[in-house]
Every structure is written in structure tokens, then in C-alpha cells.
């Protein structure tokens, strides 16, 4: 399967139900979209994330009812520095969608999804621990992998691989 | 004054009649180094909080400093009971980033070995789970068959546990002579061996008392708390990525997906035991239908050349040198590849920036998500049931902490 170029034109991507649903809800909330290697990525404006997820979860045509994963990518030194990446799965429809939120490097903060999916709890703690992205509204936002008194966030790109010596 | 102790998470007792109890990280039933904080009222659990991270080795960070092909051995160390499933998930993700087509023979061998690792993993689970609950002899029976599976792994890869047998673009080597015979011998004998385990447990009154109705997990809770794999299927959700979102030609195999709606420890036990039978069936199909042909993709810039060619042809030598010293660039992009591991949805999210080293590798570990269901399972139950509940979700701490 040779690679075909990624499609980033919103007009061409309107055939994908999750994107069409979000555009119909609020076209300003969708910053960009991409269809690449059979995966749909939607970049959501960071204030609209929780509502966008609620729509994708509750819409009877979509039913993205399973929170598979959240992680983060650090694009240091470019800005916006952090990309928080959510993977949702629709168990009845066997489909996936990837949501992304871009956050600035100074005081990265995003709304927690624990009120929609309790399973986000550990995943968001992990992102907080390793990247320093804060999730507002999280019930127990503490370090999960590293010791509580650890300094720094190891998966940031400006953190050396061998640690601070 | 410097702080003398690393502060560890604590759990404050909520009521006047309750106390908190520390369980682990060296408790034998926690399958590794899991620490649990229990708030108890007498023998009854009020709530439970897992404290993890004791095995965190920063694999995701290490991956960013390696070439793509050097990451494969690291993936073995994540879920050390099914290293081949980790290998598969990672190489599938990178192959999708590259747009690489894998020859059918390699795909079928991958399926065969992947199902053998599922059997291997379930055997360790069954043995140690039964040992936790007090049925000691099952452990010895299970490890007898596990030894056969490990011998097969040793035949193909030279390693019993850290196999690293799958490569980006195919397999490391053609399987040796006698490997197919060993697999055939194993699969003809194995169903009767599963009968042996079931004779010991399935209608054993003590086993039933310890597992039936214990650690209940409803459908809604299972989905909301992110459970996958046998834990989810034992709660009544019919989802198996091998059948529903197939990868590595799983769509060419016929198998059933065992589902139970009881949601207790016994249901998880039954689902896994039946899965072993189905896996045995898939291995049989893979063995009978394995096609002839190459085991590596035709991509000289990505796949290492054969030893013979490397010694006799100049191009092959150049490619070999370049792959080993410089790696190979991967087109920029990102992929989330999920496979059905013995524990549930194992997902690798690989981001490439066009260089020969992955920009970011993230593992969605099934044990990590399944662990979150423990509090719901155990609240209101007795302390002894915690042991049964931990065993029934089958966590691997290497997978939880990475």
C-alpha cells in the first residue's frame, strides 16, 4: 500500500461523519483536520474540547463511547509547543477518531475529560507527570509514574534522555 | 534540612470507623510491584487506590533516542509475557508510517506466533491466578505447557522471553527446520491439556465459591473505566480487535470470540480459558495454510539484506552499512496502531518528523487502563477478594509502568 498524500482540506473531508458533525455544531471549534494513513485527525480549539467530546460520545450516529488513550507530543522549541492527542473508539461502529488540542508552552492547561469518561483519570495523570500539562477539573492530579518529589517532566524534549546529572 | 523520605501517596481515612491499610508493593499476589492503599471497615473494603510507577523505566523517552529498528527490543520489555504482541504492534505502526507491504508468509507466521504468545500469557495468568486463590497444582500443569511454547519461541528467535523476532518489513529469519513440527505437536496435545485445567477448576466448589459473583463489573462501568480485552468481554461487550478491526491478515482466519455477561472473576476465567482454545484453533489454521514465499518485504533501504548477499554484492553491503549506521528516514506523520493483546487493546502511537528516529512513541498499555477498574470491583467486598480481583484483570506491571 503505497502512501497517498495527506488530505487537509476541510471541504474534501466533509464526508467523514465525526468532522461533519463537529463542523455543523460549531465551525469555529475546528481548527484543522487531516486524513492520513486511513486515520482521521481533528484539531479542536482548546476551549471546545470537552463539549466536542461530549457530542462525539452522545451522538447516536457516531457513538464514540470509548476513551482509548490520551497522550502528548512536545514540539519544542516551536509554538504552540504541546499537542495533546486523544484517541476515541466507537465500540458499536468499530471506528476511531483522533482529536488534538494545541497548547502554548507557558502554563499549558486543558479541561479534564474525567467527567465524561472516568477512564481518563490515570491517562491524564500520566500526561501531567511526564509533560507538565495541567488538567483542570481533574479529581486527583498528582504524579503517577515518577516519585512525588521529582523535579521536571521527563518526556519534554528539553529534558535530557539520561536525566539531569 | 533535606527531606529524608520520598513522600508517597497516602489515603486519609474518611470515617471514624475506618482504617487504612497498605498492601504491597512486595505482596506476592500483586504480580510484581503494585502497591494498593485500602481503606477498610473491619474486613470490608471502602475504597482502594493503586499506587504505581515502581517499574517505570522511561521506555517512551528511550525510544526517542533510538533508530526505528532499535526500538523493537525495547518493546519486549513492556509486557514481558507477550513480547511478540508488543513487537507486532510496534512494527505494524512503523510499517503503516512507511506504507510498506508485508509478504503473506510473514503475516501468517506473525499471526501464528502472536497466538502462541497469547496462549503463553494466559497460561501464566491461569497458573498464578489459581495459585493466588489457593489451587496450587494448576500452576505446575500450566507451566508444563508454557515450557513447550517457550521452546518454540527459542527455536525461532534464540530467546525464550525477550524474542524481538519481528522486524520492520517482516521477520528476522526464516523459522528453523522442525519448528512447524513442534507447533503441530503442541496444538494437537494442547486441547486435552486445557481439559485438564478445567477438570481441576471449572466445577471445583472451592474455586466457584472464590470466583462466582466476586469483583463484579457492569457493562457501563467496564466501558467507562476503559477496560479492554477479556475483562471487557467478560462484562458482556463483544469487542475483539482481531475480528472487528483486523490487522496482519486476521480477517482470513475463522475463530469465535468468547463473551460472558456475568462480569465476575469466574466469567473472566471462562473467557480466557475459551480464548486459549480459540487461539489454538487459529494456530492450527495458520500452520495448515502458511503460504510459501519471502519473509521480508522487498524494500532494500529498510530491510537488512541477507547475509549471503551482503558478503557478495556491493549494493547490499552499502544498504546494510547505511541501515545499521544511519537508520532509515520515515515519512513525517503519525499512526495509532492498536492490536488485541492478551490483556486488551494495546496501542502504539508513533509520530515521525521525517528523521530516522521516532519523534514520539507512546504505548497505550492495556494493563494500565484495566487497573482503574479495581476500585469499582473491590468496593464493598472483603480483603481476600482483592487478591482474586487483581488476578482476574491480569495486569503486568511492566505494562502498567513502562
CATH number where B92 lies: 1.10.645.10
What ipTM score was computed for the predicted complex, to two decimals? 0.91
Distance CA B70, CA B326 (A): 11
| Residue A90 forms part of a structural domain | yes
Domain with residue A68: its CATH number is: 3.30.460.80
Angstrom distances, CA of residue B397 to CA of B216, B390, B393: 22, 12, 12
User: How far from the centroid of its chain's Cα atoms is residue A113's Cα?
Assistant: 10
Residue B266: the pLDDT is 92
| Residue B30 forms part of a structural domain | no
A121 touches chain B (CB under 8 A): yes
Q: Contact B368/A122, CB-based, under 8 Å? A: yes
| Residue B36 forms part of a structural domain | no
Q: Identify the residue with better confidence: B133 or B24.
A: B133
Name every chain A residue with its beta carbon within 8 A of the beta carbon of B371: 122
Q: Contact A94/B244, CB-based, under 8 Å? A: yes
Distance CA B398, CA B402 (A): 5
The tens digit of pLDDT for each residue in B286-295 reads 999 889 889 8
Residue B31: the pLDDT is 73
Name every chain B residue with its beta carbon within 8 A of the beta carbon of A74: 360
Distance CA B27, CA B30 (A): 6
Distance CA B104, CA A149 (A): 51
Give A101's pLDDT tier (boundaries 50, 70, 90): very high
User: Taking the alpha carbons of B182, B184, B189, B193 in that order, is the dihedral positive or negative?
Assistant: positive
Q: Contact A3/B371, CB-based, under 8 Å? A: no
Number of domains in chain B: 1
Distance CA B390, CA A32 (A): 42
Task: Please tell me which of the candidates B237, B245, B372 has its beta carbon nearest to residue A94.
Answer: B245
Decide if A6 contacts A50 (C-beta within 8 A). Answer: no
The shortest C-alpha distance from B219 to chain A (Å) reads 12
Give B1's pLDDT tier (boundaries 50, 70, 90): very low
Q: Contact A1/B52, CB-based, under 8 Å? A: no
The shortest C-alpha distance from B17 to chain A (Å) reads 24
A61 touches chain B (CB under 8 A): no
Q: Which of A38, A53, A69 best tests the B interface by mutation, with the highest count of B CBs <10 A?
A: A69
Name every chain A residue with its beta carbon within 8 A of the beta carbon of B402: 145
Task: Please tell me which of the candidates B97, B223, B244 has its beta carbon nearest to residue A65.
Answer: B223
In this model, does residue A85 exceed pLDDT 90?
A: yes
Taking alpha carbons only, the member of A9, A10, A8 closest to residue A24 is A10
Give A36's pLDDT tier (boundaries 50, 70, 90): confident
Q: Can you list the positions of beta strands (E) in B154-300? A: 166-167, 170-171
Q: Contact A39/B52, CB-based, under 8 Å? A: no
Q: If you measure CA to CA, which chain B residue comes closest to A57?
A: B224
A119 touches chain B (CB under 8 A): yes
Give B43's pLDDT tier (boundaries 50, 70, 90): confident
HEC secondary structure over chain A: CCCCCCECCCCCCCCCHHHHHHHHHCCCCEEEEEEECCEEEEEECHHHHHHHHHHHHHCCCCCCCEEEEEEEEECCCCCCCEEEEEEEEECCCCEEEEEEEEECCCCCEEECCCCCCCCHHHHHHHHHHHHCCEEECCCCCCCCCCCCCCCCCCCCCCCCCCCCC
| Residue A77 forms part of a structural domain | yes
Q: If you measure CA to CA, which chain B residue comes closest to A148?
A: B7
The shortest C-alpha distance from A148 to chain B (Å) reads 6
B351 touches chain A (CB under 8 A): yes
Number of domains in chain A: 1
Q: Contact A149/B3, CB-based, under 8 Å? A: yes
| Residue B167 forms part of a structural domain | yes
pTM of this prediction? 0.91
| Residue A83 forms part of a structural domain | yes
In this model, does residue B13 exceed pLDDT 80?
A: no
For residue B34, the 8-state DSSP code is -
Name every chain B residue with its beta carbon within 8 A of the beta carbon of A142: 9
| Residue A74 forms part of a structural domain | yes
The tens digit of pLDDT for each residue in B323-338 reads 999 989 999 999 999 9
Give A73's pLDDT tier (boundaries 50, 70, 90): very high
B9 touches chain A (CB under 8 A): yes
| Residue B236 forms part of a structural domain | yes
Q: Contact A145/B334, CB-based, under 8 Å? A: no
The shortest C-alpha distance from B317 to chain A (Å) reads 26
> What average pLDDT does the structure give for chain B?
88
The shortest C-alpha distance from B53 to chain A (Å) reads 4
| Residue B47 forms part of a structural domain | no
Residue B191: the pLDDT is 92
Task: Please tell me which of the candidates B64, B226, B331 has its beta carbon nearest to residue A119.
Answer: B226
B331 touches chain A (CB under 8 A): yes
| Residue B52 forms part of a structural domain | no
CB crowding B58-94: b at 16 or more within 10 Å, else e: bbbbbbbebbbbbbbebbbbbbbbbbbbbbbbbbbbb
Taking alpha carbons only, the member of B167, B139, B164 closest to residue B299 is B167
Taking alpha carbons only, the member of B194, B32, B231 closest to residue B119 is B194
Name every chain A residue with its beta carbon within 8 A of the beta carbon of B48: none
Q: Contact A65/B237, CB-based, under 8 Å? A: no
Distance CA A99, CA B15 (A): 41
Which structural domain range is residue A73 located in?
17-121
Residue B29: the pLDDT is 66
Residues, chain B: 402
Which structural domain range is residue B361 located in?
59-401
Residue B136: the pLDDT is 86
Cell triple for A33: 483536520
Task: Please tell me which of the candidates A71, A126, A142 has its beta carbon nearest to residue B9.
Answer: A142
Name every chain B residue with its beta carbon within 8 A of the beta carbon of A118: 224-226, 372
| Residue A135 forms part of a structural domain | no
CB atoms within 10 A of CB B199: 11
Q: If you measure CA to CA, which chain B residue comes closest to A118?
A: B225
Amino acid at each position: 500500500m503505497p502512501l497517498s498524500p495527506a488530505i487537509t482540506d476541510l471541504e474534501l473531508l466533509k464526508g467523514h461523519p465525526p468532522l461533519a458533525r463537529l463542523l455543523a455544531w460549531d465551525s469555529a471549534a475546528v481548527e484543522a483536520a487531516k486524513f492520513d494513513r486511513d486515520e482521521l485527525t481533528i484539531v479542536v480549539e482548546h476551549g471546545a474540547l470537552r463539549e466536542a467530546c461530549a457530542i462525539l460520545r452522545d451522538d447516536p450516529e457516531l457513538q464514540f463511547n470509548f476513551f482509548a488513550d490520551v497522550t502528548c507530543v512536545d514540539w519544542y522549541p516551536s509554538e504552540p509547543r504541546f499537542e495533546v492527542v486523544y484517541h476515541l473508539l466507537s465500540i458499536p461502529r468499530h471506528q476511531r477518531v483522533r482529536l488534538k488540542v494545541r497548547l502554548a508552552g507557558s502554563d499549558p492547561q486543558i479541561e479534564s475529560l474525567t467527567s465524561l469518561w472516568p477512564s481518563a483519570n490515570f491517562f491524564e495523570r500520566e500526561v501531567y507527570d511526564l509533560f507538565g500539562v495541567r488538567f483542570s477539573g481533574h479529581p486527583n492530579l498528582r504524579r503517577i509514574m515518577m516519585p512525588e518529589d521529582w523535579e521536571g517532566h521527563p518526556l519534554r524534549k528539553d529534558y535530557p534522555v539520561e536525566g539531569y546529572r | 534540612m533535606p527531606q529524608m523520605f520520598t513522600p508517597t501517596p497516602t489515603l486519609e481515612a474518611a470515617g471514624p470507623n475506618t482504617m487504612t491499610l497498605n498492601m504491597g508493593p512486595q505482596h506476592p499476589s500483586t504480580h510484581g510491584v503494585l502497591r494498593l492503599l485500602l481503606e477498610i471497615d473491619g474486613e470490608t473494603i471502602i475504597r482502594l487506590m493503586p499506587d504505581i510507577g515502581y517499574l517505570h523505566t522511561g521506555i517512551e523517552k528511550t525510544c526517542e533516542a533510538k533508530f526505528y529498528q532499535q526500538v523493537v527490543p525495547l518493546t519486549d520489555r513492556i509486557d514481558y509475557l507477550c513480547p511478540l504482541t508488543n513487537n507486532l504492534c510496534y512494527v505494524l505502526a512503523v510499517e503503516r508510517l512507511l506504507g510498506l507491504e508485508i509478504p503473506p508468509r510473514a503475516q501468517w507466521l506473525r499471526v501464528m506466533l502472536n497466538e502462541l504468545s497469547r496462549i503463553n500469557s494466559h497460561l501464566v495468568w491461569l497458573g498464578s491466578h489459581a495459585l493466588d486463590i489457593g489451587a496450587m497444582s494448576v500452576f505446575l500443569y500450566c507451566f508444563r505447557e508454557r515450557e513447550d511454547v517457550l521452546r518454540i519461541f527459542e527455536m525461532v528467535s534464540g530467546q525464550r522471553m525477550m524474542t524481538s523476532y519481528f522486524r520492520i518489513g517482516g521477520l528476522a529469519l526464516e523459522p528453523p527446520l522442525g519448528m512447524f513440527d513442534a507447533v503441530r505437536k503442541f496444538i494437537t496435545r494442547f486441547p486435552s491439556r486445557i481439559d485438564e485445567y478445567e477438570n481441576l477448576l471449572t466445577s471445583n466448589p472451592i474455586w466457584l465459591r472464590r470466583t462466582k459473583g466476586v469483583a463484579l463489573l457492569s457493562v457501563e462501568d467496564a466501558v467507562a473505566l476503559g477496560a479492554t480485552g477479556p475483562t471487557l468481554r467478560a462484562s458482556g461487550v463483544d469487542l475483539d480487535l482481531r475480528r472487528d478491526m483486523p490487522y496482519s491478515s486476521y480477517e482470513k482466519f475463522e475463530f469465535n470470540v468468547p463473551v460472558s455477561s456475568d462480569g465476575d472473576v469466574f466469567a473472566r476465567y471462562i473467557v480466557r480459558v475459551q480464548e486459549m482454545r480459540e487461539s489454538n484453533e487459529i494456530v492450527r489454521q495458520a500452520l495448515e495454510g502458511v503460504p510459501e514465499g519471502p519473509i521480508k518485504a522487498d524494500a532494500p533501504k529498510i530491510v537488512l539484506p541477507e547475509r549471503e548477499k551482503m558478503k557478495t554484492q556491493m549494493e547490499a553491503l552499502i544498504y546494510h552499512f547505511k541501515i545499521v549506521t544511519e537508520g532509515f528516514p520515515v515519512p513525517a506523520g503519525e499512526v495509532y496502531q492498536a492490536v488485541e493483546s492478551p490483556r486488551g487493546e494495546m496501542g502504539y502511537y508513533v509520530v515521525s518528523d521525517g528523521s530516522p528516529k521516532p519523534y514520539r512513541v507512546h504505548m497505550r498499555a492495556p494493563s494500565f487502563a484495566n487497573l482503574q477498574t479495581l476500585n469499582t470491583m473491590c468496593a464493598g467486598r472483603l480483603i481476600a477478594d482483592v487478591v482474586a480481583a487483581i488476578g482476574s484483570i491480569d495486569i503486568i506491571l511492566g505494562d502498567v509502568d513502562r
